[in-house]
Amino acid sequence: MFHTPKQMTRRQFTVAAAASAAAATSPSWLLAAPKASNRYKYCAFIKFLLSLKYDEMAAAIADAGFDGVEVTARQKEAYIHPDRAADELPRLKEALEKRNLEITILTTDILRADEPHAESMLRSAASLGIKRYRLGFFQYDLTKPILPQLAELKPVIHDIAAMNREIGIAGMWQNHSGAKMVGATIWDMHSLIKDYPVSEIGCVFNIRHAAVEAGEAWPVYYDLINPHINAMSAKDFRWEGRKSVHVPLGKGNVDPMFFKTLHKSDFRGPISVHVEYLSKESAQANLAALKRDFDTLRTWLPS
C-alpha cells in the first residue's frame, strides 16, 4: 500500500525527500539499484573498467545492484596479473568486501594444468574463497581433421579437472561462436567434460554465442549442456551481413524465452552480465551499459 504525505511520519517524509534530491542530482549510472533477489547471484564482467581503481570500481558495481564481479586475470588487459595474483587478489577482495561484493568468477587464459602461474594463481584464489574460474579458449586448426584434435584434448581436460579437484576450485569453459572455437557447437565440449562433476569442470553457458551457432535450435544446445552448467553469461547480438556483432541486451536476436526457461529451472546462479559493444568507450559509458543491461535482465528473471 502506498502512503500519501499525510500518512507519512516526519522521518519518513525527510528520508523520501532526501532520496528524491539525490536521484535528481546524481549521474544515472551511479544511482544505487536494489540488490538482486537471493535466487541468483549476479556479477558484472569488468573487462572494460580497467581505468578505475579497485575502490572506484567496487563502489560503482555495488551502486548498480550487482552481487560481485567477473574479473580478468590474464596476461594482457587484465585487472589481475597471473604472476602477481597472490598480492593483487587480496587487495581486490578487500575493496569489494567493503561494498559487500565478491569475486564471483576469475577469468583466465588457462588452457593446461602445467602452465606457468596457473596452479599458484588458482591456489591463491581458492585460499580467498573464490569458487570459480573461467578457462581460456581452445581452438581448432581447421586445416586438420577435427576428431583427432578432440582426442588430443581429452588428457588435457583430465589434468585440468584433477588440478581443480586437488585445489578445491571449479573450472568453467565458456562456449564461444566461430568455426575455430572448440565448444562452439556444444557437442564437442560436452564430449570432453561429461564425465566430470561441475565442482571440477563445467560450462559457462553463453546464450549469445549459442544463439549465433544454433539459431532457433538453441534449446537443443541448452538441454544437452544443462547438467554441466555452473554459470551463465548474458549478452546479445545481431547480424550484420554474415558477421554477428554485440548489441545491448534485448536489442538483438537472443530470445527472451531462454531466460523464462532458465527461470523455470533449478539453476541458482551465478549470472554474469557482459557488455562488449562499447569496448572503445570510457569506463563510465561501460558502467552505464552494464546497469541498463542488468535492468533488462531482471525484467526477464523476476524475483
**Cell numbers of 196, please?**
566430470
- Whole-number Å distance between alpha carbons of 136 and 204: 12
Asked, for residue 78, whether it belongs to a domain, the answer is yes
Q: Model's pTM, two decimal places?
A: 0.85
Mean predicted confidence (pLDDT) in 111-139 = 96
Please provide residue 116's backbone torsions phi and psi, each rounded to the nearest 5 degrees.
-60, 135
Range of the domain at 227: 29-300
In a domain? residue 7: no
What total of structural domains would you count in the chain?
1
Instruction: Yes or no: say if 96 and 103 are a contact pair by the CB < 8 Å rule.
Output: yes
Q: Does the residue 150 lie in any domain?
A: yes
Report yes or no on 166 lying in a domain: yes
C-alpha cell at 246: 554485440
- Domain membership flag for residue 205: yes
pLDDT of residue 11 exceeding 80? no
Structure confidence at residue 303 as a pLDDT band (50, 70, 90): low
Q: Is 132 helix (H, G, I), strand (E, B) or coil?
A: strand
- The per-residue pLDDT for range 247-292, each reduced to its tens digit, is 999 999 999 999 999 999 989 889 999 999 998 899 999 999 999 9
**Alpha helices per DSSP H over 26-84:** 54-63
- In a domain? residue 151: yes
Q: What is the per-residue burial (b if ≥16 Cβ within 10 Å, else e) of 63-73?
A: bbbbbbbbbbb
Instruction: Please compute the mean of the pLDDT values over residues 90-112 and round it to a whole number.
Output: 97
Minimum mean pLDDT range among 11-15, 52-56, 202-206:
11-15
What pLDDT, on a 0 to 100 scale, did the predictor assign at position 38? 65
Percent of the chain topping pLDDT 90: 81
How far is residue 150 from each of residues 153, 182, 202, measured CA to CA in Å?
5, 8, 17
State residue 7's pLDDT score.
42
Give residue-wise pLDDT tens across range 197-240.
999 999 999 999 999 999 999 999 999 999 999 999 999 999 99
CA dist 295 and 64 (Å) reads 9
Residue 203 lies inside a defined structural domain of this protein: yes
Take residue 136 and report the three cell numbers written for it. 581460456
Q: Residue 19: pLDDT above 70? A: no
111 has a pLDDT exceeding 90: yes
CA geometry: angle 205, 209, 215, nearest 5 deg: 110
Confidence band, pLDDT 50/70/90 cuts, at residue 129: very high
Quick check: 160 and 135 in contact, CB under 8 A?
A: yes
CATH code, domain carrying 226: 3.20.20.150
Percent of the chain with pLDDT over 70: 87
Q: Is residue 69 part of a domain?
A: yes
